[in-house]
């Protein structure tokens, strides 16, 4: 029969930008203040190679103090080589993402060390099985646009984590895979098997379906190990995010503007190093500004200020003509509940309306990123869909103004059976999957379940039925044989 496959009317890549938490003059003020920090305070770089690179490129380097200072002219000249937009690819082209302008894509985040078990609901240490299942779930959830590797496989030796985590993700979704890394060997081996999957190094770099995250530390430090990893990641040529996560009030000033200034210096440091070492390297202006709850000092990922600051990053990144990586949708709730719902929605919505290119952490995470939950991915799929709907905005034209239709139906008529309604019902409205919109009677018949239980059942069903496009058997065998530390058994 003619079942029309309804296509997603609110896909990734819609253009946001209507919410602007910073007034135009404010962006310039934050920029100027950041330049002052670079000139007067500087950043500490605890890696010899990086220090030398900054020096050779013309920054002022104090090798004894390991401090790098720089002028506005030098900074603006040096970041110029960074691409203004980047395409992150999926293993299937339908998942490619064009990070440009105010285009919006939203996805998951990591790296949690725990998971709420889907059967018992109890928190337990996460494993490789959870990495794979989370990837598979995300593969099936249409409003989650990419997969940042969700959790840490606690059962593995540290040196085997990188290759297996990335492979478990890549194998279970054809959406773009990005992840944090722990060892240099791991970074190199991931690049190596990614080349095998792509067919060649050239093919991989032309359509990179995998990318890395290496961090900058607040306040104002490029850490020894992470910078070493960053340099290794740059060598692979794959796209890179270099996020920094200041906490307003504890590791950055107790004002939003001050936190943005310091974060801007840190985010630009990552961009600067990539461009010095490899001009033109695909890098994201990467931001994780957070807050502290000053009643206790607790870290806050779900605060409203966090949403506002991350939204502001979209404006800052446009000022520097760089694509951005921002953070939203993660929360402090311990289980999927009312708190996880409103915190996730608030920050993700702000970033989406601001036109952030790559909003990460926005699905599946709970407990300030310490835990993932299968139900939460399904709930967030609804939240992300609502955000993308809002990004699309209200379309006003002769067809949507509908004066002829109003005339057709007239007073006391109804629009339910009008062609115009049928024509528009899929493109004008977002249909939540978790939200219960039935009558109370029907809700009672269906077992009086709440959103968490409904999402849990949906997650179980997806995991039972959804089969991703796996990696070619021959290539998989070759990878397992040639790459040290690879597991040989993978989820069917």
Partner 1 sequence: MTQIMEDIIENLIDGQTKKVVALVEQAIAEGIAAKDILNKGLLAGMNEVGVLFKEGELFVPEVLVSAKAMNAGMEVIKPLLKEGDIQKSGTVLLATVKGDLHDIGVNLVAMMLEGAGYEVVNIGVDASPEKIVESVKKIQPDLIGMSAMLTTTMASMKDTITALEESGLSDKVKIMVGGSPVSKDYADKIGANYAGDATAAVELANELLGR
Residues of the shown chain interacting with partner 1 in the complex, contacts defined by CB under 8 A: 1-4, 414, 416-419, 421-422, 425, 438-442
Concatenated DSSP letters of 402-456: -HHHHHHH-TT--STT-HHHHHHHHHH----SSS--S-HHHHHHTT---HHHHHH
Of 165, 148, 207, 172, whose CA–CA distance to 469 is shortest?
Answer: 172
Q: CB neighbours (10 Å) of residue 120?
A: 8
CB nearer to partner 1: give 394 or 416.
416
Peptide bond preceding 410 in cis form (omega within 30 of 0):
no
CB nearer to partner 1: give 25 or 411.
411
Q: CB neighbours (10 Å) of residue 136?
A: 22
Helix (H, G, I), strand (E, B), or coil: what is residue 284? strand
Strands, E, within 137-257: which ranges? 147-148, 177-180, 210-213, 221-222, 240-241, 247-248
CA pair distance 302, 293, nearest whole angstrom: 11
Least Å distance between CB 429 and partner 1? 10
Peptide bond preceding 160 in cis form (omega within 30 of 0):
no
Least Å distance between CB 411 and partner 1? 13
CB nearer to partner 1: give 41 or 424.
424
CB nearer to partner 1: give 143 or 244.
143
Least Å distance between CB 10 and partner 1? 17
Least Å distance between CB 428 and partner 1? 12
As given in the structure block, the two tokens for residue 315 are: 């404006």
Contact 172, 491 (CB under 8 A): yes
CB nearer to partner 1: give 36 or 442.
442
Q: CB neighbours (10 Å) of residue 87?
A: 17
CB nearer to partner 1: give 184 or 418.
418
Least Å distance between CB 419 and partner 1? 7
Least Å distance between CB 255 and partner 1? 49
Of 334, 337, 332, whose CA–CA distance to 453 is shortest?
Answer: 337
Least Å distance between CB 446 and partner 1? 11
CB nearer to partner 1: give 192 or 420.
420
């Amino acid at each position: 029969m003619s079942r029309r496959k309804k296509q997603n009317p609110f896909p990734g890549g819609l253009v946001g930008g209507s919410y602007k938490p910073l007034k135009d003059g404010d962006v310039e003020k934050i920029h100027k203040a950041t330049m002052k920090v670079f000139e007067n305070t500087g950043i500490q770089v605890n890696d010899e190679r990086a220090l030398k690179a900054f020096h050779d490129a013309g920054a002022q380097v104090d090798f004894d103090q390991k401090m790098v200072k720089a002028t506005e002219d030098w900074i603006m000249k040096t970041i110029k080589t960074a691409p203004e937009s980047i395409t992150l690819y999926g293993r299937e082209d339908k998942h490619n993402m064009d990070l440009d302008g105010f285009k919006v894509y939203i996805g998951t985040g990591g790296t949690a060390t725990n998971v709420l078990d889907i059967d018992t609901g109890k928190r337990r240490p996460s494993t490789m099985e959870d990495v794979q299942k989370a990837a598979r779930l995300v593969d099936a959830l249409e409003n989650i646009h990419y997969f940042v590797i969700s959790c840490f496989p606690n059962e593995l030796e540290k040196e085997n984590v990188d290759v297996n985590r990335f492979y478990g993700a890549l194998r279970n979704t054809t959406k773009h895979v990005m992840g944090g890394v722990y060892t240099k060997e791991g970074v190199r081996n991931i690049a190596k098997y990614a080349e095998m999957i792509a067919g060649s190094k050239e093919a991989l770099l032309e359509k990179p379906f995998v990318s890395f995250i290496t961090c900058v530390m607040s306040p104002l430090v490029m850490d020894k190990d992470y910078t070493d990893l960053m340099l290794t990641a740059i060598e692979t040529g794959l796209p890179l995010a270099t996020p920094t996560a200041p906490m307003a009030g504890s590791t950055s000033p107790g004002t939003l503007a001050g936190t943005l200034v310091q974060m801007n210096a840190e985010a630009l440091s990552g961009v600067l190093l990539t461009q010095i070492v490899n001009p033109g390297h695909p890098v994201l202006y990467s931001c994780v500004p957070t807050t502290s709850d000053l009643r206790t000092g607790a870290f806050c990922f779900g605060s409203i200020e966090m949403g506002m600051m991350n939204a502001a990053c979209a404006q800052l990144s446009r000022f520097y003509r760089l694509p951005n990586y921002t953070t939203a949708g993660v929360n402090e709730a311990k289980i999927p509940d009312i708190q996880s719902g409103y915190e996730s929605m608030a920050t993700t919505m702000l970033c989406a309306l601001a036109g952030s290119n790559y909003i990460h952490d926005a699905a599946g995470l709970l407990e300030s990123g310490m835990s993932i939950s299968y139900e939460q991915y399904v709930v967030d799929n609804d939240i992300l869909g609502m955000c993308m709907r809002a990004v699309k905005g209200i379309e006003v034209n002769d067809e949507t103004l509908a004066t002829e239709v109003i005339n057709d139906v007239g007073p006391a008529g109804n629009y339910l059976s009008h062609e115009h309604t049928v024509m528009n019902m899929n493109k004008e409205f977002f249909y939540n999957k978790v939200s219960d919109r039935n009558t109370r009677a029907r809700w009672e018949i269906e077992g009086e379940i709440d959103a968490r239980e409904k999402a849990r059942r949906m997650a179980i069903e997806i995991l039972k039925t959804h089969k991703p496009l796996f990696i070619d058997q021959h290539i998989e065998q070759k990878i397992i044989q040639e790459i040290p530390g690879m597991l040989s058994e993978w989820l069917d």
